[in-house]
Amino acid sequence: MGTTMQNVLVCQTGGWVGDMVLLTPALRALKHAYPESNLVLLLRPLVTGLMEMHPYVDTCIVDTRTDGRLGALTGLVRRIRADAFDVAVVLHPTSFRNALLPFLARVPIRVGTNVSGRGMLLTASCKDDTSVHEVHRYLRVLRLLDIADVPDVLEFWHTDADREMIQALLHAEGVSLTDRLIALNLGTTWRTKQWDIANFAEVIQQIVGQIPNARVVLTGSSAETTLAAALPTSRPAINLVGKTSILQLGALLERCEVCLTCDSGPMHIAAAVGTPTVALFGPTDPVRHKPYGAGHTVVEKPVVCRPCYKRICSRQDTPHLCMTKIDPAEVVEALKTKLY
């Protein structure tokens, strides 16, 4: 298709941090295919700060998506039309709106998956495939632009300044260079993906008792401070929940030897910075969402109703069975395998 694309619009208003990390191989491939292009990302407010620092994104357009408000839609269409995009790459897996905007803005080339009736809005489309990892779900769309066989490695865009900030934080907590840091990411965006705090407490006690020089670091956003506060104070852990920016979190996870996490954004950040993870999976499918790359362990249980992708568990008798069946002893063994 040549490399004369001046303005490239990528539409992914999924809005979660993990999605943005998994989008990176596709963004990198687009930037390498069209090195002179202005690559613009249409996204949600939650991830704007993170993606404005992204190495392959030149500009962000924020979709505030006040649904049903025609004014918000027409304003965005006007903005997209004014930028005179050559191509729109619709990478949101299901959103009709993500395909409608470039269609209404008359972007000449529009590619994406043919789901939710979007095919009629696109100039080229492919069938969706939910049997592959999300990284490849994105990369498949690029084949419609003859961009194929591209590197699928993740990356994260924290800086040396972020690393220095983390070094100072850890130093203040009395961490020495011989200490072996284990990240515990307590939270996740859905209640159904959450592992019980008592289980995390048990893991801390076992690991600190069995691994010499082990120090547990609690990670997460300020939304998870109540989770960290619920841990018994008798459990020795360095609490950095809510004390790091998202890019500093990348630097912190990079410094850790292993990360224990549920299916979450920080899980994908840990994978992107090359830290082995032990990932606990319940309502979501690891085939699509597991930590990407080598050296990770997924712990999951064969419960008949999973993967359900529900944010509220519908099991009456044994709610959250897929997560409650995960035993702390098994998780400790998985962590020890990474530490020996």
pLDDT at 67: 54
Q: 174 and 137 share a domain?
A: no
Radius of gyration of the chain (CA): 21
Question: Of 111, 145, 179, which residue sits at a domain end?
Answer: 145
Q: 115 and 15 share a domain?
A: yes
Q: 88 and 192 share a domain?
A: no
Question: Which residues have a Cβ under 8 Å from the Cβ of 116 and sit 6 or more positions away?
Answer: 94, 95, 96
The Cα 302–Cα 231 span in angstroms is 28
Q: 221 and 133 share a domain?
A: no
Q: What is the CATH number of the domain that holds 104?
A: 3.40.50.2000
pLDDT at 232: 82
pLDDT at 116: 86
Question: Which residues have a Cβ under 8 Å from the Cβ of 125 and sit 6 or more positions away?
Answer: 111, 112, 113, 114, 118, 119, 144
Sign (positive/negative) of CA torsion 241, 23, 301, 190?
Answer: positive
Q: 313 and 256 share a domain?
A: yes
The Cα 18–Cα 270 span in angstroms is 10
Q: What is the pLDDT along the chain (340 residues), one digit of tens a residue?
A: 445 789 999 999 987 899 999 999 999 999 999 999 999 999 999 999 999 999 999 999 999 876 556 667 888 999 999 999 999 999 999 999 999 999 999 999 999 999 989 999 999 999 999 999 999 999 999 999 999 999 999 999 999 999 999 999 999 999 998 999 999 999 888 999 999 999 999 999 999 999 999 999 999 888 888 888 888 877 789 999 999 999 999 999 999 999 999 999 999 999 999 999 999 999 999 999 999 999 999 999 999 999 999 999 998 889 999 999 999 999 999 999 999 8
Specify whether the CB–CB gap between 271 and 285 falls below 8 A. no
Strand partners, 192: none
Q: Which domain holds residue 94?
A: 7-145
Q: What is the pTM of this model?
A: 0.94
Residue 152 falls inside a structural domain: no
CA distances from 208 to 15, 103, 229, 276 (A): 36, 56, 19, 18
pLDDT at 296: 98
pLDDT at 2: 47
By DSSP bridging, strand 59-62 and strand 87-90 are unpaired
Q: 175 and 321 share a domain?
A: yes
Q: What angle do CA 224, 229, 232 make, to 5 degrees?
A: 135
Residue 1 falls inside a structural domain: no
